[in-house]
Structure formats: C-alpha cells, structure tokens
DNA sequence: CCCTGCCTGCTG
DNA sequence: CAGCAGGCAGGG
C-alpha cells in the first residue's frame, strides 16, 4: 500500500506510542513475514528489548533497540501497523504482535502477506533487507540535476521506470511517480535519456517538493489513525492524476489517459505531458 | 526487456 | 470469470 509519504506518516504516528516501551514478547502468528532468520531467533532476539527510536529509509521502517540492534520492516502493498490495547480484537490478517509493557500491542496486519520483517543485530551490516541497495532519499541534498543526469542519462528505460527504481531514488512508487511527472509536464513513457537538462532540473526540484507536500497532506492524529484502522490517512483527495483516468485534467481539462509502462499502469494528461 | 511468484480481495 | 491492485525479488 504505502509509498514514502505514507510510511513517514505511519512512523510519525507510531513513534510516540512505542518509544521507550519494552517488548515483552513477540507472537508470530504467521512466521512467513519474518525473513532472513528463523522466526524463533527473531522473537528471541527482540524479546525484552526496549524500543529507543524509529527511522525510515525509502519505504522501509526501522525500530531501534536498546542493545544496538534494529528491526527493519517493509509494508509492501497492504501491510499495516497499529498500536492497540491488548484487550481489543486484532484485525483480520494480523501476522505479528509485539506485546509491549504498557499493555498495548504493536500489531502488523497484511492481507496479501507481502510485507517483511528483518532483525539486524548490533554492529551487523544490513545486507538482507534491501536497504543497502537504495539510492538517495528524495530530500538528500545530493539529489541534484547532475545526479539525475548521471543516473538517467544513459538509460534506455522510461523516466517512469527510473523514478520507480529504488536504487536511483528511494521511496517513490506508482502513485507519486505519476504525480511527480504530471507536475513536471513529462510523459511517463519518455525515454530517460531523452530528458533535457531543464527537465532533469525540474524533476530534481519536484521530487522532494511533491513528496513533502503529500507528507503534510497525510498528517493525521494517532486517534484518527487508529479509528480508521490505519486505512484512512491517505492522500486520495489531493492526487491530481493517479486514480483519475477518464476524468478531466485539473490543469487543462483534457481527458486523463491510462497507459501501461513497464507493466505498471500510469495515468497522465495527453495535453500537458507530451510524448 | 519480459515473465513469474508471493497473497487476497475487488471490479467489471 | 479474468484482470487488476500503491512492491519487490528472481529468473531467462
């Protein structure tokens, strides 16, 4: 489900609820969501540890532990994290429950079960989760027009595929790649190597701008997040093109078109985003 | 580059 | 019923 703005929203909602809490034990109802090590090893390694902080890298979340280790997780398509009182019935598809000392539980639910958890021990390098393969954060000062030129310049791939490539820029998914390209007036099917310097500069500026705009729009109180079971914090009312194919372009009124690029469906304006 | 698998639910 | 869904890894 979530891309960078949603993952960041979840992190901001969860952090105050779990920070300084000790994990009494972990219940792995569906151990398949634990990757890299046997589930029992994961549960034993996390048990009795205190959560000292949270982090985000691209679409990955991290929970820092008091022994220097960390939990790394990725929500993939439908993963969801909620902190709920122990007495309250877990959502359907709850696969992992972290029992916290204050009587609440950090619960991971995921209908499609694509989400994954890793445990990285103190001093260990994370070479398993995929974090090590990520490119710059969208807000990294090194994400310059020159960097984009270097990374996109020689590529035959489309610009859309490059934006989705986590090893170039971390955190952009199918929704925000469409939104960024719409704002930049660049057609998603354009070959990356065909982009002009001006277009690359435009992208370099719009990537952080667009994502921070949507992080702001996502802001939600922990109460509202919980009330909607972690489902209702999304940006749908603010999206310009994603989910709006067949509707008029908000800029020029032309009919927004659905196209398939690299197997992913994309929505763009045939008028504002010339091929 | 494309394809498949991983899962379940929703839409037409 | 087929096709699609905001992700990613692995294979040819």
E strand or H helix that includes residue A71:
strand A70-74
Say if pTM beats, i.e. exceeds, 0.85. Answer: yes
Tens-of-pLDDT digits for all 275 residues of chain A? 699 999 999 999 999 999 999 999 999 999 999 999 999 999 999 999 999 999 999 999 999 999 999 999 999 999 999 999 999 999 999 999 999 999 999 999 999 999 999 999 999 999 999 999 999 999 999 999 999 999 998 888 999 999 999 999 999 999 999 999 999 999 999 999 999 999 999 999 999 999 999 999 988 999 999 988 888 666 678 999 999 999 999 999 999 999 999 899 999 999 999 98
The neighbour count for residue A122, using CB atoms within 10 Å, is 10
Q: Any idea which nucleotide's C1' is nearest the CA of A115? A: C7
Residues with CB under 7 A from strand B: A 32, 92-93, 111-114, 156-158, 161, 262-263
Using the Cα atoms of residue A113, residue A114, residue A115 and residue A117 in order, give the sign of their dihedral: positive
Q: Is A29 helix (H, G, I), strand (E, B) or coil?
A: coil
**Interatomic CA–C1' length for residue A265 and nucleotide C1, angstroms:** 22
Nucleotides of C under 7 A from a protein CB: 4-9
């Amino acid at each position: 489900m979530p891309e960078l703005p949603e993952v960041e929203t979840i992190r901001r909602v969860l952090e105050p609820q779990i920070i300084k809490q000790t994990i009494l034990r972990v219940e792995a109802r569906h151990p398949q969501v634990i990757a890299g090590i046997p589930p029992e090893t994961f549960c034993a390694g996390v048990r009795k540890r205190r959560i000292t902080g949270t982090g985000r890298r691209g679409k990955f979340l991290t929970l820092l532990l008091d022994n220097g280790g960390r939990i790394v997780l990725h929500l993939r398509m439908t993963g969801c994290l909620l902190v709920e009182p122990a007495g309250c019935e877990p959502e359907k598809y709850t696969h992992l429950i972290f029992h916290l000392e204050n009587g609440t539980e950090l619960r991971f639910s995921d209908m499609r079960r694509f989400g994954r958890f890793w445990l990285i021990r103190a001093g260990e390098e994370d070479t398993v989760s995929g974090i090590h393969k990520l490119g710059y954060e969208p807000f990294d000062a090194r994400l310059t027009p020159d960097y984009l030129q270097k990374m996109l310049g020689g590529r035959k791939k489309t610009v859309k595929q490059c934006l989705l490539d986590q090893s170039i820029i971390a955190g952009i998914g199918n929704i925000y790649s469409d939104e960024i390209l719409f704002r930049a007036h660049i057609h998603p099917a354009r070959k990356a190597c065909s982009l002009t310097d001006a277009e690359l500069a435009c992208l370099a500026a719009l990537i952080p701008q667009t994502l921070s705009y949507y992080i702001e729009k996502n802001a939600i109180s922990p109460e509202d997040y919980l009330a909607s079971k972690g489902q209702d914090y999304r940006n749908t009312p603010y999206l310009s093109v994603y989910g709006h194919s067949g509707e008029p372009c908000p800029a020029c009124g032309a009919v927004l078109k659905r196209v398939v690029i690299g197997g992913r469906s994309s929505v763009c304006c045939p008028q504002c985003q010339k091929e």
